[in-house]
Structure 1
Amino acid sequence: MWYQVTLYRGGLVTSALSFIAAASTAFLPDNSIAKALLQQNLDTLYALGAGSLGLSLVLIHIYVTPIKRTLQILWALGLLGSLATSLNLAQPAGEGLVEYVIDNPVAVWFVGPLFASLTGLVFKEGLCYGKLEAAALTFVIPTLLLGHLTGLMDDNTKLGLLGVWMALFVVFASRKFTQPIKDDIGDKSVFMFNAKSEEEKAVILRQREE
């Protein structure tokens, strides 16, 4: 199980680093070589981040299977939406996917489910482990996307939220390296106990009392 946890965390960290690298272009100087290099690879970073997130959602430990499947379906819908937007809208307009979504807020409808799955994942991390940065991301991610989609948020506010998202993601990714492996394996004993018959439960409780 430890290798699955390692892959799960590796996917999260890779996804976070990909996002941070791509988002940093909004803050780097226009004449920066780093900015030019990153801008040329925004879609590659997006694909790497999306793929890494998908890996983590396959390996994520959630007891309630329907919730896990919902997050995976949202991710798949977001991936399909991203591909459709890239092929049918961005490329004909001579733009990359990320650039197109920035210039055309309505495209958030197509890529949004992928970020919804990310929001669900960080919500789970915040709820299960009491991580404040994960809980904050649960609000920052949809707020920024909805602000961009609706046009109700000015550019300075969006940049501020983007910076907060990046900072929280750095903390979130860093703390996965210090978290005990057992945390992401989980304890299914309660669910196994509840699945037993009343007679079996009585026997187990009696044995524990003895």
Structure 2
Amino acid sequence: MTTPTISASEVYQGQFGEFTINQSDRTGVIIYRSGLMVAALCFAIGSGLVLFANNPTTIQALTPLYTCFSLALGVSLLTIHIYMAALHRILQAFWLIGSICAFIIRHFDSQPFAVTVYNQPLTLFGVGFTFAALTGIYFKEAFCFNRLETKVLTVIVPLLLLGHLVGILPTQWEQVLLGTWAILFLVFALRKTVQAIPPDIGDKSVFAYLKQQRTVKEARG
């Protein structure tokens, strides 16, 4: 009886040395992408209900869809690989602020959540933090992978939210931007499913180097 051999992990050459990618790394990427897909599906369904089936029943359905979207986005922000730890924490903090504000609005306003946010644009000063975190993901993906859809999304999201906040966008333009956002978000999430996993993990030698630098700085300070 022969003993099965275990193939060695492929060794990559990073900026600050060699590194390997383990199963935990791959699992993290899969979770990140799964969170994006769930968030994109929830957002697309919710946008479709708003654009094509806008009635009291469907408006009520937007609240659980938004909750699922927000939770999935939180999972992605937990597992995304970003070299700058401070930026990573800022995006997570944005998501947390937006989630707390959404929770408060949902539980202390008698109107459906979507109706409150739409009719009271000032609520975007709170809930909008969630979408700022999402825009951070779009920007990161555009910067790292030069994806056209994320470049467009990085512009569309703040344009739509700020335009609604200050009341300068006609309703038709808001609908066009929302539909475009939903479609491109789905395209982005779908393209991530077929992308090779190692690029999403990044150069682990950079993470190790930055961690070492923080440790040295803390020891000196």
TM-score in terms of structure 1 length: 0.84
Identity level (%):
38
Change (3 A) 1:39 1:180: same
CA separation in 1, counterparts of 2:73 and 2:28?
14
Q: Secondary structure at the match of 1:116?
A: helix
**Contact 2:50–2:59, Cα closer than 8 Å, also in 1:** no
Paired position in structure 2 for 1:107: 123
Paired position in structure 2 for 1:208: none
Cα RMSD over matched residues?
1.9
Paired position in structure 1 for 2:44: 20
Aligned residues: 189
**Contact 2:47–2:182, Cα closer than 8 Å, also in 1:** yes
Gaps of at least 5 residues in structure 2 are 1-24, 214-221
Query: Can you list the C-alpha shifts for 1:148-200, whole angstroms capped at 9, x where unaligned?
Result: 11111110110111111112112111101110011211112245468889xxx
CA separation in 2, counterparts of 1:148 and 1:6?
34
Query: Can you list the C-alpha shifts for 1:29-71, whole angstroms capped at 9, x where unaligned?
Result: 55xxxx7764331100000000000000010100110000000
Q: Secondary structure at the match of 1:20?
A: helix
Say which structure, 1 or 2, has more relative contact order (CA 8 Å, 6+ apart). Answer: 2
Query: Can you list the C-alpha shifts for 1:85-123, whole angstroms capped at 9, x where unaligned?
Result: 2222x22xxx11112111221211120101000000111
CA separation in 1, counterparts of 2:206 and 2:64?
43
Choose from 90, 93, 96 the match for 1:70: 90
Question: Deviation at 1:83?
Answer: 1.0
CA separation in 2, counterparts of 1:156 and 1:3?
42
TM-score in terms of structure 2 length: 0.80
Paired position in structure 1 for 2:179: 163
Question: Deviation at 1:27?
Answer: 2.4
Choose from 79, 104, 107 the match for 1:59: 79
Query: Can you list the C-alpha shifts for 1:126-146, whole angstroms capped at 9, x where unaligned?
Result: 111111101110110011001
Q: How does 1:1-210 map to 2 (within 5 A)?
A: 1-29=25-53, 38-88=58-108, 90-91=109-110, 95-190=111-206, 192=208
CA separation in 1, counterparts of 2:107 and 2:210?
49
CA separation in 2, counterparts of 1:164 and 1:72?
25
CA separation in 1, counterparts of 2:161 and 2:200?
28
Partner amino acid, structure 1, of 2:28: Q
Where in structure 1 do 4 or more consecutive aligned residues deviate above 6 Å? 194-197
